[in-house]
Amino acid sequence: MSVAPGVGDASAPIGVFDSGIGGLTVAREIMRQLPRERIIYVGDTARVPYGPKSPDTVRRYSREITAYLLEQGVKAVVVACNTATAHALPVLRAEAPVPVLGVVGPGARAAVAASPHRRIGVIGTVGTINSRAYEHAILALAAGAEVIARPCPLFVPLVEEGWLTHDATRLVATEYLAPIQQAHVDTLVLGCTHYPLLKPLLGELLGADVRLIDSAEETAAELGRALEQRGIAAPDGRGAQHRFLASDAPEQMLRLSQRFLGAAIERVETLDLG
Amino acid sequence: MSVAPGVGDASAPIGVFDSGIGGLTVAREIMRQLPRERIIYVGDTARVPYGPKSPDTVRRYSREITAYLLEQGVKAVVVACNTATAHALPVLRAEAPVPVLGVVGPGARAAVAASPHRRIGVIGTVGTINSRAYEHAILALAAGAEVIARPCPLFVPLVEEGWLTHDATRLVATEYLAPIQQAHVDTLVLGCTHYPLLKPLLGELLGADVRLIDSAEETAAELGRALEQRGIAAPDGRGAQHRFLASDAPEQMLRLSQRFLGAAIERVETLDLG
């Protein structure tokens, strides 16, 4: 990771990556909070999903994408994937010469701030849950907190099928959430960037007393602070031109961008990975 | 693909590959019908699933695995993955110096032989269905056949979750199968190596009048004939020692081998791909 022309350059873009399209929910929040920033988004759609893959493999993929983003001259990297954050954030931070932000820390902070009784549920992919990254991050902030974590491997394919309120999704969610409900959590972390699209259904099943935490908002806020602190926030008066790249099936990212990004993308470039 | 020490060697192993563990249902049938043959099985668990990926990417992965198997000295290659067969069989056959068999041709032949009224349904991944490989293969055998094809993207994650008869799986299957049932098919091709595990549920939903076709049996029979014709069937008296390789998470293949292979595997080696 030696080539990094974007280091310290306020006018350089922000690199954002995910295993696929879920990270567009984070890109969306960055665009909303930091409208002057340009984004280069990489979705590793050729190797999606990262959730069931081993930590070593997820680290290898994450380092490869980060190296690519640094070559493109980014001034900061946002790991907009919970599994990649859980497995790769320390190594990316150690190696990259620019700030690297993940979604787990911001999500844990938002959960602790929102939870009145410190009874916090976490749902995510098998990789994220097995890593216990959220549990560690929450306990570091609130030592006495009760954390109940549950993998929900069918949520990503259900969201990608577009079945956001389908009866099958309702049945799956009811089963996955049962241990979370039995533990009487007051806050639930949506520990996967696909899950915010299930918010209406999850909110209905859990009731209004359970706060649903989506890391995207807090991650974008933390990115804003990091850029300000380093004096590399984008200067005024520049029209933000974003780039979107996919390692496979760019037409799928185009098609699903409305759902995840809240806006249509005009063009998705193809990037060879793996 | 120049190194191929197994060409024409009857005592060489058979290479079998799939995007993941589904192809173990094909390996199982080869072991049953051809108990003298040794198998080297490669599951590309790092890059699973192939179903939603583009044809170019699936071809690239399939060529890489076939090259590896040829280096290992296989005398034949079985593409035990419908998506890889649909996209890559022609290029693998053109390049490999050993017989290469897919699962689509055998499945199509079995379906045409079983179907009394030539009204044939096909279910598979998005990649397999979009390729229209089964439709073309069936129509080449029975020009007037009616073929109704439907992608079922949630079946693979449901099978991998082990929810073979869960109410959610029943709801998903009911929705996916509706157009198949409305078309009054008499035969349904299970065009993905994961689907045979859903046979009990699918049989219950479709009723006894619809024949369910699993390509594995016919593929193993065709492999047996191909080896005999070329005089490279394994000689008598050799204890078949199989090898299993996974490009990621070998412990998952170990854990799921009982369900897919009908027998436990003692050891899974790791193979670096991508």
CA B14 to CA B7: how far, in whole Å? 11
Q: How far is A48 from chain B, CA to nearest CA, in Å?
A: 7
Q: How far is A55 from chain B, CA to nearest CA, in Å?
A: 9
Q: How far is B249 from chain A, CA to nearest CA, in Å?
A: 6
CA B68 to CA B123: how far, in whole Å? 30
Q: What is the pLDDT of residues B231-272, one digit of tens each?
A: 999 997 566 789 999 999 898 899 888 889 988 899 999 999
CA A163 to CA A190: how far, in whole Å? 17
| Helix residue spans in chain B (DSSP H) | 24-33, 55-71, 82-95, 104-114, 126-131, 133-141, 155-160, 167-182, 199-206, 215-229, 250-261
pLDDT at B274: 72
CA A82 to CA A92: how far, in whole Å? 14
B119-124 and A76-79 beta bridge pairing: unpaired
**CB within 8 Å: B175 and A153:** no
Pick the catalytic residue: A79, A81, A122, A265? A81
Q: Is the pLDDT of residue B2 over 80?
A: no
Q: What is the pLDDT of residues B125-183, one digit of tens each?
A: 999 999 999 999 999 999 999 999 999 999 999 998 999 999 999 999 999 999 999 99
Cβ–Cβ < 8 Å for A87, A21 = no
**CB within 8 Å: A46 and B57:** yes
Question: Which chain A residue has the Cα nearest residue B127?
Answer: A249
pLDDT at A239: 65
**Which of A46, A154, A171 is closest, CB to CB, to B157?**
A154
**CB within 8 Å: A153 and B161:** yes
Q: What is the pLDDT of residues A226-270, one digit of tens each?
A: 999 999 999 975 667 899 999 998 988 998 888 899 888 989 999
Residues of B annotated as catalytic (active site), given as ranges = 81, 192
Ranges B64-68, B72-76, B202-206, B214-218: which has the least confidence: B214-218
Write the burial class of residue A164 (CB in 10 Å: 0-12 exposed, 13-18 middle, 19+ buried): middle
Closest CA to B156 of B200, B117, B194: B194
CA B39 to CA B219: how far, in whole Å? 14
Cβ–Cβ < 8 Å for B156, B49 = yes
Q: What is the pLDDT of residues B26-76, one digit of tens each?
A: 999 999 999 999 999 999 999 999 998 999 999 999 999 999 999 999 999
Q: What is the ipTM of this complex?
A: 0.88
pLDDT at B3: 55
CA B218 to CA B214: how far, in whole Å? 8
Residues of A in contact with B126 (CB under 8 A): none
pLDDT at B262: 87
Using 70 as the pLDDT threshold, list the residues of chain A that sit under it: 1-3, 237-239
Distances (CA, A) of B125 to A165, B86, B122, B229: 22, 11, 10, 33
Q: Which residues of A touch B (CB under 8 A)?
A: 46-47, 52-54, 57, 153-154, 156-158, 160-161, 166-168, 171-172, 175, 248-249, 252, 274
Q: Please give the helix or strand (H or E) that residue A141 lies within, else none.
A: helix A133-141
